[in-house]
Amino acid sequence: MTSPRVLDVGRWEPNASGRLRQAAMELYLERGFEQTTVAEISERAGLTARTFFRHFADKREVLFAGSGSLQEQLVGALAGAPDSASPMEAISAALAAAATVLGQHREYSRQRQSVIAANVELQERELIKLASLAVALAAGLRRRGVDDANASLAAEAGVAVLRVAFERWVSETEDQDLLQVIRESLDQLRTLTADG
């Protein structure tokens, strides 16, 4: 009799992606990212390496798989801001969308952040993803008629606010929602840039 852990049924794998993500996170936390293999992740999830590669390009992508969807949602929220919104108000709308998506999974976010913080290669990948997000937001602002320099500046500031707020949110012991932390960080930015 074939073991269900080894059987790769290709057509029916209920929540294979979620199972792989959970197995990977458990192993990354137990052993470390570098010491964990795709074969071990697949085995822990009760799937095969072949199934793993149907869902993720490599073991890093388990941690970054939703970034394309997140970027689309942020750019969509920015585009949906009222025409009268300033560049930073449009960025604020995008950050509110980020809070809605990211704010639902605080414990997973904490775990993910600890894995990334322990690995330089993952930190670099996170920075690349954030840079791509800034480029996409700047392009969205340009489509709204904002000039190049202001679009880039607002987008970069928005991504910096998101990064700082997110790091604060995952590290705080208070049960504060991400949107509130983002709003506080935007207020801090306004205070820092106020005249006088």
Same domain, 169 and 86: yes
pLDDT value, residue 6 = 39
Same domain, 126 and 182: yes
pLDDT value, residue 2 = 40
Domain that holds residue 33: 16-62
Structure tokens at 174: 């208070």
Residue 4 placed within a domain? no
CA atoms within 13 A on the CB side of 53: 6
Provide the mean pLDDT of the chain.
90
How large is the average pLDDT for residues 135-161? 97
CA distance 29 to 51: 22
pLDDT value, residue 175 = 79
Same domain, 115 and 184: yes
Residue 8 placed within a domain? no
pLDDT value, residue 132 = 96
Same domain, 75 and 170: yes
Contacts of 99 (CB under 8 A, 6+ apart): 177, 178, 179, 182
Q: Identify which of 32, 65, 62 has the alpha carbon closest to the alpha carbon of residue 47.
A: 62
| For residue 7, pLDDT beyond 70 | no
Residue 49 placed within a domain? yes
Q: CATH number, domain at 183?
A: 1.10.357.10
| For residue 68, pLDDT beyond 60 | yes
Residue 93 placed within a domain? yes
Domain count within the chain: 2
Q: What is the per-residue pLDDT across 91-122, written as a single tens digit (0 to 9) for each?
A: 999 999 999 988 888 888 999 999 999 999 99
What percentage of residues in the chain have a pLDDT greater than 90?
A: 78
Which region holds residue 69: left if phi is over 0, alpha if psi is between -120 and 50, else beta?
alpha
Same domain, 183 and 87: yes
Looking at this protein, which amino acid is placed at residue 132? S
Position 195 confidence tier, pLDDT thresholds 50, 70, 90:
low
Same domain, 114 and 149: yes
CA atoms within 13 A on the CB side of 172: 14
How large is the average pLDDT for residues 48-60? 94
Same domain, 51 and 70: no
